[in-house]
């Protein structure tokens, strides 16, 4: 008799050993950066060989072409240039930089993204970011035991299209596969939601070294839904440091500092800010001048910045149709939230103590690591579903300089929206699409992102062509636009890759201006629409008169039409929308009989030489 063998549990011959994929979450910060990895659903920040978990976002470029990243880059050496806070320069043009920097920008780069002068030659902020990312990736690879299969990199929720593209470019230069760009507040929510099982309607208040974000989220059973976002992509601890430095210069009567002097002054300002977290006073020095900086003075310097962040919180609640009473928890993120004054003001505003049980410096990297672990294919338990939103509306320019919004702000990502448009002139075979980002009714008040053309449209009468324009925004907030003429199937598309980003406070100002100017914008939009409609009627009628006016109209009828057309053409250049509307209606009434005669003439021409019985066969 044959006996069958039974394997010990877990030791079956068919068992396969599957390699766990290596992934990491990276918080690319303005002041400090971190990298974290997740194992079995638990994330941890990776330290360097000296046990330091935070990597200062500093790169030193040397004349011999080498560079140093992190703490070692902060010490001045001969023939070297130290670059700090370069994240604020990602996707920025020279016109966007309105504050003093502790280094010199390349004067030859007048257009596109700024470049920084160094002893090794001009360096792009993208390259600086790439060097920081590469240093972080090496930590993760050492810890994981091999090359990374992918990373999640966090970005401020208010980063615009060009800033996100610049971040992706830096990752490519560093040789990293980006699984996703994850908004920093969302990453923090992931860390709290999965680690602390936080549920409800949450405010993520994220004040970092160079950016401020506020996200209103709903967390329920593993679904992270962003309801609304706000903030300022150029407000953070750096601005507080500059305010302290400015106060010190004013008190000391000091001016005309060298770049190196100003860099050291910023370092002293930052040290004083940190010291006042625990102490009530600290000593500050400029040259031979010395005085005491008190916590009360620091509060005076801080309160304006804090009030700006709280205004953004009010706006986010209003956007979502909620009140402070609807918020169940407030989570603090970012090193600048360690400041007692920030915590005090946030608690007073929301009426509850904010949560900061997870290190605010590390929470973003931890959340990114958890998400990276899921996206790379390592699943432990139920994966979190993230639903982020667009910070600003996206649309295209239509006739009259109007902004036609296709994807409104606070739309859940990823998102695909489409809308149909048509031609303005008879026989039009090309359409130019101008993509904009903003909240106003006219494109002159919004920000240009990209242009592309659709060629080969079959020639038709104005208004007959059907052009479908589709906007697709992926989970990273990156946009692709496609236009298709539906009768012919001709297509054209563009991945939006602007050369530089929004100026400081532009996004906040755009939303604020859209609210304050809503009524006036509607009036202006109505005027532009009537001007466009008037010009369209005039052009169509001119073409009809040229073809059939002498045959189908008496001299008096033709004169009356031309007279009203002239009056409408003059009115269409003015600002009286009611006059344009009245004259357009008058022209429509006068031309109605002419249109009917043209239709009758066209039918007679089509029927000429046809027998009734043959027409019956065709019908």
Provide the annotated active-site residues: 27, 87, 184, 206
Asked if 198 and 168 count as a contact pair (C-beta separation under 8 A), the reply is no
Strand, helix or coil for residue 518? helix
Strand, helix or coil for residue 594? helix
535-to-206, 531, 543, 586 alpha-carbon distances in Å? 50, 6, 12, 14
Cα within 13 Å of Cα(81), Cβ side: 21
| Residues 6+ positions from 576 with CB-CB distance below 8 Å | none
> What proportions of the chain, in percent to the nearest 5, are helix, strand and coil?
40, 25, 35
Query: CA 348, 353, 359: angle at the middle one, nearest 5?
Result: 125
Distance CA 312, CA 130 (A): 31
Cis peptide before 151 (omega within 30 of 0): no
Give first-to-last CA distance, the chain, whole Å: 87
CB atoms within 10 A of CB 109: 16
Asked if 146 and 380 count as a contact pair (C-beta separation under 8 A), the reply is no
Phi and psi dihedrals of 255, rounded to 5?
Answer: -150, 175
Q: What is the DSSP letter of 147?
A: -
Distance CA 158, CA 450 (A): 19
Kindly report the length of the chain: 619
Distance CA 350, CA 353 (A): 8
């Amino acid at each position: 008799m044959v006996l069958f063998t039974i394997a010990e549990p877990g030791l079956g011959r068919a068992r396969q050993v599957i390699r766990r994929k290596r992934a990491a979450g990276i918080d690319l910060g303005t002041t400090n950066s971190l990298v974290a990895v997740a194992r079995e659903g638990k994330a941890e920040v990776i330290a360097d060989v000296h046990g330091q978990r935070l990597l200062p976002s500093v790169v030193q470029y040397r004349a011999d072409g080498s560079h140093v990243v992190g703490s070692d880059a902060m010490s001045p050496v001969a023939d070297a240039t130290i670059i700090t806070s370069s994240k604020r320069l990602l996707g920025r043009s020279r016109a966007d930089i309105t504050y003093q920097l502790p280094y010199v920008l390349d004067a030859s780069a007048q257009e596109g993204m700024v470049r920084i002068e160094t002893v090794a030659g001009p360096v792009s902020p993208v390259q600086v970011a790439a060097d920081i990312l590469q240093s972080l990736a090496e930590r993760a690879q050492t810890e994981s035991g091999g090359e990374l299969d992918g990373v999640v990199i966090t970005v401020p929720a208010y980063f615009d299209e060009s800033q996100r593209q610049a971040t992706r470019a830096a990752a490519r230069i560093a040789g990293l596969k980006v699984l996703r760009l994850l908004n920093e507040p969302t990453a923090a929510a992931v860390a709290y939601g999965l680690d602390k099982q936080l549920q409800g309607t949450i405010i993520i208040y994220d004040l970092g070294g160079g950016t401020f974000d506020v996200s209103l989220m709903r967390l329920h059973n593993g679904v992270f839904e962003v309801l609304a976002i706000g903030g300022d992509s150029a407000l953070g601890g750096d601005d507080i440091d500059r305010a302290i430095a400015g106060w010190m210069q004013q008190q000391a009567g000091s001016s005309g500092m060298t770049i190196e002097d100003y860099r050291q002054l910023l370092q002293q300002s930052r040290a004083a800010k940190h010291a006042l977290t625990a102490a009530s006073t600290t000593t500050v020095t400029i040259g031979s001048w010395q005085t005491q900086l008190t916590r009360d003075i620091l509060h005076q310097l801080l309160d304006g910045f804090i009030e700006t962040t709280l205004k953004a919180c009010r706006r986010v609640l209003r956007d979502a149709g909620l009140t402070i009473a609807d918020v169940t928890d407030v989570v603090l993120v970012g090193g600048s939230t360690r400041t007692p004054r920030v915590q005090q003001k946030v608690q007073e505003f929301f009426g509850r103590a904010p949560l900061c049980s997870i290190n605010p410096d590390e929470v973003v990297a931890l959340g990114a690591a958890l998400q990276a672990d899921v996206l790379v294919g390592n699943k432990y338990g139920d994966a979190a579903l993230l639903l982020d939103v667009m910070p600003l509306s996206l649309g295209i320019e239509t006739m009259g300089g109007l902004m036609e919004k296709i994807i409104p702000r606070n739309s859940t990502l990823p998102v695909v929206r489409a809308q149909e448009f048509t031609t303005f002139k008879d026989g039009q075979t090309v359409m130019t699409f101008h993509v904009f980002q903003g909240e106003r009714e006219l494109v002159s008040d919004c920000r240009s992102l990209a242009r592309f053309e659709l060629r080969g449209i079959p020639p038709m009468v104005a208004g007959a062509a059907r052009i479908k324009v589709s906007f697709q925004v992926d989970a990273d907030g990156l946009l692709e636009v496609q236009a298709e003429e539906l009768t012919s199937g001709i297509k054209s598309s563009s991945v939006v890759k602007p050369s530089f980003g929004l100026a400081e406070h532009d996004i906040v100002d755009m939303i604020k201006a859209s609210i304050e100017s809503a009524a006036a914008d509607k009036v202006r939009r109505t005027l532009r629409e009537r001007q466009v409609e008037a010009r369209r009627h005039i052009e169509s009628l001119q073409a009809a008169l040229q073809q059939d006016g002498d045959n189908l109209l008496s001299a008096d009828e033709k004169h009356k039409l031309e007279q009203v057309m002239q009056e409408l053409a003059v009115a269409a250049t003015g600002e009286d929308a009611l006059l344009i509307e009245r004259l357009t209606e008058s022209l429509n009434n006068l031309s109605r009989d002419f249109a009917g005669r043209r239709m009758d003439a066209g039918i007679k021409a089509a029927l000429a030489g046809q027998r009734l019985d043959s027409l019956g066969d065709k019908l």
